[in-house]
Chain A
């Protein structure tokens, strides 16, 4: 019984009812969604950011995006109905969603539920009423929702040549608005050429009206041009000799990769910091991918090896009373890796005979034991307890100190490149094959002469090595380390990123880290709600694309055969 993450055979079949019942159902589902967003405070938080400064807040946009999506959903389910039914149904859907949301107005104004729902405050009432009097506001809200639903339905039924530019334009607008802070930061860092763009599009806090129009039109135009050129381009591409086509495709991948790698150079230190974190998580993802993706050993205590790598660097290089030596980072790095490997081996021994779900719980325990031990009074004289270890020097090449996020980012990229190459080679090796056989069926693998003890311990040790490198860089990034940096959440994050990326796939690790670590960092201004979004994205991913964003080779074959 190995741990498998597969989509279940359960097929959620949409039961087709009458258009009326579907309109009611869709309206209620999205109405409840809208209520939920209001109650947990999403609308209010988003109301503080702008899509277009002083014209349209993100909260108000979201208020109408929900009925719009409801309209899309209803129209998709009722494509074959007559126009009159589609129109009537969509209006009903919009009215229901708007009605649900508008119901909150009297609740806020006359009731008092703030004890339970902090978000039900007068600012929310003002926002829901769109700045008008409550009665008029409620009417506009409901009517606006119906209009939004109608727009959504219209988008769904119109011809794709018209729809695509509109949706691409709106999506571009949404992305630019969400990332405006980072974009402005990047553009400011880019010098005179970019400052022209900055002034044209943005003002403090977001897009200007002109900026919003420019972004929408530009994205729509690009989409039209791409749509026009796509067919002839594909035809030309298909005519190329296979060698040339492969070369072009590989060149494209290399250029894309280079663009991603060197992006922080133009992005400035905030972007570099985010990418550094993405790189560290990708490194750990590579390691956990060996354990979970290849060997099928579900490890929830992976953060332990990360911590061990970090503490080894701290103890060997820091200018602190806890330090055991004052080596250079470069001398300490291999030792940190070796120590992590040794602990991977050591922690592997007690869980050798445990499989599947039980293994997850046991490793979870190991990860926590490490954190608690480091925090404990017993280890305090050695490891510094809760005060941690301070004054970890930056690595230096000659007289050049790798102290900035950008330089550490490039160190991470180098390590990641090496790690990826190693992981790539090991996965197609005899050892990799052995891991995969053990993952698919431990008993049979044993019956064919595979030494399970050796194979498992190798998986734990090699996986730990990757985390050790990440921990080492993490220590010099923060220049000081504390036990509370090594929470269970990190293990869970790494597991989530390799699953979302595609279990057992190296490309998937990188993509998963970019999406699950990079995006939330870039969306920091939305505070705690980014985790709501994060959770929603993971659930949606597992529903829609359970094989991951970049499925492993074998998975693709499986789906192709099925």
Chain B
């Protein structure tokens, strides 16, 4: 059974239709990439799943729960955690305090400590900068902090919104290496990316979104070879 299934989802901003009859499934342990141009509705889909924007019609199911009408903080409780686009960290808190906020809902303190160690092992830079104010980190470090913070909330499904945005190529590689590592830890990932090339390389399944609708669904490698995709997104 699918971990996440989205059925005929419609999202409106006022009169503007952002998503139209979008259906998508994510199986446990997969990395699913969602690619598409600016304004295709990629971020809207993630926001709908994490409850930040309301749903006009359709349904979102995670395991056997319906998330469609849940408040954002309840959805996090179910294990669906989003890393918002644009390296959004708590800039006036320290690295440590940022990570503490990630574990905000958890009561299993011993487990949290172990996850801290795992996060620091994955991103050693963050251990060095533990007591530094997060706003003074470099761009790449901030993206890592945002991802580490999401991991500390012990997600079952991680929603990543444009993790490569605004990063130097070498940092993009680093970020995607850590996405692979997170997947190996057993976290399922739904990834939204404009950088289709890197996204499809690690994706098991790729969806192509165009003006609010899904137009293609293939395995990652197949999409990389697809002529239409090549023309439109890989250049």
Give the interface of A toward B (CB within 8 A). Answer: 433-434, 436-437, 439-441, 443-452, 554, 557-558, 561-562
Contact present for B84 and A440 (CB under 8 Å): no
Contact present for B92 and A440 (CB under 8 Å): yes
Q: Given contacts A436-B92, A441-B88, are A447 and B76 in contact (CB under 8 A)?
A: yes
Contact present for B89 and A441 (CB under 8 Å): yes
Once the chains are docked, how many angstroms separate the CA of A437 from the CA of B134?
12
Contact present for B104 and A449 (CB under 8 Å): yes
Q: How far is the CB of A398 from chain B (nearest CB, A)?
A: 48
With CB as the reference atom, state the residue of chain B lying closest to A504: B92
Contact of B52 among A434, A447, A451, A554 (CB under 8 A): A447
Contact of A447 among B81, B92, B133 (CB under 8 A): B81
**Chain B positions within 8 Å of A558 at CB level:** 92, 133, 135-136
Contact present for B92 and A562 (CB under 8 Å): no
**Chain B positions within 8 Å of A557 at CB level:** 94, 133
In addition to A445-B90, A448-B101, A449-B153, 11 A-B residue pairs with Cβ atoms within 8 Å of each other are: A433-B100, A434-B104, A440-B90, A440-B91, A441-B88, A447-B52, A447-B82, A448-B81, A448-B153, A554-B133, A558-B135
Contact present for B132 and A561 (CB under 8 Å): yes
**Chain A positions within 8 Å of B149 at CB level:** 448
Contact present for A439 and B92 (CB under 8 Å): yes
Q: Count of A-B contacts with CB under 8 A?
A: 78
Q: How far is the CB of B141 from chain A (nearest CB, A)?
A: 13
Q: How far is the CB of A491 from chain B (nearest CB, A)?
A: 24
**Chain A positions within 8 Å of B150 at CB level:** 448
**Chain A positions within 8 Å of B50 at CB level:** 447
Once the chains are docked, how many angstroms separate the CA of A467 from the CA of B81?
38
**Chain B positions within 8 Å of A436 at CB level:** 90, 92-93, 97
Contact present for B133 and A450 (CB under 8 Å): no
B71 CB–A CB distance under 8 Å: yes
**Chain B positions within 8 Å of A440 at CB level:** 89-93
B77 CB–A CB distance under 8 Å: yes
Once the chains are docked, how many angstroms separate the CA of A439 from the CA of B90?
8
* Binary CB contact string for chain B from 96 to 125 against chain A (1 if under 8 A, 0 otherwise): 010011101100000000000000000000
Q: Given contacts A433-B101, A562-B136, are A446 and B89 in contact (CB under 8 A)?
A: no
* Binary CB contact string for chain B from 148 to 191 against chain A (1 if under 8 A, 0 otherwise): 01100100000000000000000000000000000000000000
Q: How far is the CB of A298 from chain B (nearest CB, A)?
A: 16
Q: Given contacts A437-B101, A444-B84, A446-B52, are A451 and B92 in contact (CB under 8 A)?
A: no
Q: List 8 A-B contacts (CB under 8 A).
A: A433-B97, A433-B101, A434-B104, A440-B92, A447-B52, A447-B82, A449-B153, A554-B133
Q: How far is the CB of B198 from chain A (nearest CB, A)?
A: 23
Interface residues contributed by chain B, number (CB under 8 Å): 32
With a 10 A CB-CB cut-off, give which of A433, A436, A444, A554 has the most chain B CB atoms: A444
Q: Given contacts A448-B81, A449-B153, are A561 and B136 in contact (CB under 8 A)?
A: yes
Contact present for B90 and A441 (CB under 8 Å): yes
With CB as the reference atom, state the residue of chain B lying closest to A296: B92
Contact present for A447 and B97 (CB under 8 Å): no
Contact present for A443 and B133 (CB under 8 Å): no
With CB as the reference atom, state the residue of chain A lying closest to B78: A449
Q: How far is the CB of A127 from chain B (nearest CB, A)?
A: 51
**Chain B positions within 8 Å of A554 at CB level:** 92-93, 133
With CB as the reference atom, state the residue of chain A lying closest to B149: A448
Contact present for A448 and B100 (CB under 8 Å): no
Contact present for A451 and B93 (CB under 8 Å): no
Q: How far is the CB of B20 from chain A (nearest CB, A)?
A: 24
**Chain B positions within 8 Å of A439 at CB level:** 92
Q: Given contacts A433-B97, A441-B90, are A451 and B132 in contact (CB under 8 A)?
A: no
Q: How far is the CB of B159 from chain A (nearest CB, A)?
A: 9
B49-92 CB contacts (< 8 Å) to partner A:
50, 52, 71-73, 76-77, 81-84, 88-92
**Chain B positions within 8 Å of A452 at CB level:** 73
With a 10 A CB-CB cut-off, give which of B72, B101, B102, B150 has the most chain A CB atoms: B101
Contact present for A444 and B72 (CB under 8 Å): no
Q: Given contacts A433-B100, A558-B135, are A447 and B84 in contact (CB under 8 A)?
A: yes
Contact present for B93 and A437 (CB under 8 Å): yes
With CB as the reference atom, state the residue of chain A lying closest to B90: A440
Contact present for B88 and A451 (CB under 8 Å): no
**Chain B positions within 8 Å of A449 at CB level:** 73, 76-77, 104-105, 153
Q: Given contacts A446-B52, A554-B133, A558-B136, are A437 and B90 in contact (CB under 8 A)?
A: yes
Once the chains are docked, how many angstroms separate the CA of A445 from the CA of B50?
12
B125-146 CB contacts (< 8 Å) to partner A:
132-133, 135-136, 146
**Chain A positions within 8 Å of B132 at CB level:** 561
**Chain B positions within 8 Å of A433 at CB level:** 93, 97, 100-101
The 9 closest A-B pairs by CB, nearest first: A449-B76, A440-B90, A449-B105, A446-B72, A561-B136, A451-B73, A447-B82, A449-B73, A444-B88
Q: How far is the CB of A530 from chain B (nearest CB, A)?
A: 34
With CB as the reference atom, state the residue of chain B lying closest to A554: B92
Q: How far is the CB of A162 from chain B (nearest CB, A)?
A: 42
With a 10 A CB-CB cut-off, give which of A445, A449, A450 has the most chain B CB atoms: A449
With CB as the reference atom, state the residue of chain A lying closest to B98: A437
Q: How far is the CB of A432 from chain B (nearest CB, A)?
A: 11
**Chain B positions within 8 Å of A562 at CB level:** 136
Q: How far is the CB of A544 from chain B (nearest CB, A)?
A: 22
Q: How far is the CB of B44 from chain A (nearest CB, A)?
A: 14
Once the chains are docked, how many angstroms separate the CA of A433 from the CA of B83?
20
Once the chains are docked, how many angstroms separate the CA of A174 from the CA of B72?
60
Contact present for B91 and A450 (CB under 8 Å): no
Once the chains are docked, how many angstroms separate the CA of A434 from the CA of B102?
11
Q: Given contacts A437-B93, A439-B92, are A446 and B73 in contact (CB under 8 A)?
A: yes
**Chain A positions within 8 Å of B92 at CB level:** 436, 439-440, 554, 558
Contact present for A450 and B104 (CB under 8 Å): yes
Q: How far is the CB of B116 from chain A (nearest CB, A)?
A: 15
Once the chains are docked, how many angstroms separate the CA of A445 from the CA of B136?
19
Contact of A448 among B102, B133, B136 (CB under 8 A): B102
